[in-house]
Amino acid sequence: MRAFKTIGIVCKRDDSRLVSTVRRLIDHLSTKGCEVLVDDIGGQLLGIVGVPLETFAQRVDLAIVVGGDGTLLHAGRFMANHEIPVLGVNLGRLGFLVDISPEDVEMILEQVLAGKYYEEKRTLLKASVFRGEQCLGENDALNDVVIHVRNEVRMIEFTTHINDAFVNTQRADGMVVATPTGSTAYSLSGGGPILHPDLDAVVLVPICPHTLSHRPIAISADNKIKISLCDQRNSEARVSFDGQSHIDITPGDHLVIQQKQKNLCLLHPENYDYYHILRTKLRWSMQP
């Protein structure tokens, strides 16, 4: 059983609704003898000293994210590097990842501190963008890495290789490369399948392909994916990481996507049920 002595709270940006929930968390954890840190965003909201995420992840045993899935995506990339488990409190909309209601937070924390929780590992991707031999930048993604058209409403043309084997060349608005976590995000909107989080796989989903036979494909997560923007079309594109950071690319550039060696550890209540999350968030079984 993990011992959580120093607990950090990560807050959604520009959302004053979370102040009361965060104060409740701080008060409750303090009564349990825990040291509590808040990130710099939470510090601004509460009027106290906060800690930047870069150093925050090096000091805590557990991170509690208060906000929505976007907040957890941002924090999760930092926490994965330091193998810090993450617990999510939902103040957003969908909440596939942040699955604890603010009303239940004290009760769930009691269980977590007592070692009663479900621990889940989530795959991340690591992507590098190149212009020739020059690396333009790299980043991690918990949901997806997306190459997509930039500025104009027109298709881009790109070539895909998997483990150096040629797959195809296609014209489309782009391509989503998603983890099982991201399979319920942009990938799902593009017609991709839902991948259970236990699967060691990623899915490649073309965005509005010109040739309708270009369909999503699921492959093992340990494959190396290379996507190259073709020289023949003078179309600029962009590579996005979880929709939160971006690198602009031009014809001839390429990106290499691989599985990150470290996973994100998510903590859930003991009664966590992934299929219940799907039914609730996607409104399955609801009568019209």
Q: So what's the pLDDT on residue 274?
A: 94
What residue segments make up the domains of the chain, in order of their start?
6-122+263-281, 125-259
Q: Is 279 helix (H, G, I), strand (E, B) or coil?
A: helix
The one catalytic residue in 39, 69, 140, 242 is 69
Q: Is 141 annotated as a binding residue?
A: no
Structure tokens at 284: 């399955």
With a cut of 90, say whether residue 117 has pLDDT above it.
yes
Question: What percentage of the chain reaches a pLDDT higher than 70?
Answer: 98
- Rounded Cα distance between 11 and 35, Å, is 17
With a cut of 90, say whether residue 217 has pLDDT above it.
yes
**Contact criterion met (CB below 8 Å) for 191 and 203:** no
Q: What is the mean pLDDT of residues 129-149?
A: 97
Considering only the top CATH level, what class is 6-122+263-281?
alpha beta
Predicted confidence band of residue 141 (pLDDT cuts 50, 70, 90): very high
14-17, long-range: CB within 8 Å, 24+ apart, which pairs? 15/45, 15/67, 15/91, 16/45, 17/91
Q: Are strands 254-259 and 118-122 parallel, antiparallel or unpaired?
A: unpaired
Q: Is 150 annotated as a binding residue?
A: no
For the four alpha carbons of 85, 261, 205 and 131, in that order, the dihedral sign comes to positive
231 is catalytic: no
Same fold, 6-122+263-281 and 125-259: no
Considering only the top CATH level, what class is 125-259?
mainly beta
Torsions phi, psi for 71 (to 5 deg): -65, -40
Q: What is the pLDDT of residues 5-61, one digit of tens each?
A: 999 999 998 777 889 999 999 999 999 999 999 999 999 989 998 999 888 889 999
Higher per-residue confidence, 85 vs 92: 85
DSSP class of 153: S
Q: Is 231 annotated as a binding residue?
A: no
- Rounded Cα distance between 62 and 228, Å, is 39
Q: What is the pLDDT of residues 226-270, one digit of tens each?
A: 999 998 777 889 999 999 999 999 999 999 999 999 999 999 999
Q: Is 221 annotated as a binding residue?
A: no
Q: What is the pLDDT of residues 50-67, one digit of tens each?
A: 999 888 889 999 999 999
Predicted confidence band of residue 154 (pLDDT cuts 50, 70, 90): confident
Nearest to 251 by CA among 269, 271, 230: 230
DSSP class of 15: -
Q: Is 57 annotated as a binding residue?
A: no
Q: So what's the pLDDT on residue 152?
A: 75
- Rounded Cα distance between 213 and 211, Å, is 6
Q: Is 184 annotated as a binding residue?
A: yes
pTM of the model: 0.94
The strand pairing partners of 207, in sequence order, are: 174
| CA distances from residue 164 to 3, 156, 225, 239, 248 in whole angstroms, order as listed | 44, 21, 8, 20, 24
Structure tokens at 124: 């991340």
With a cut of 70, say whether residue 288 has pLDDT above it.
no
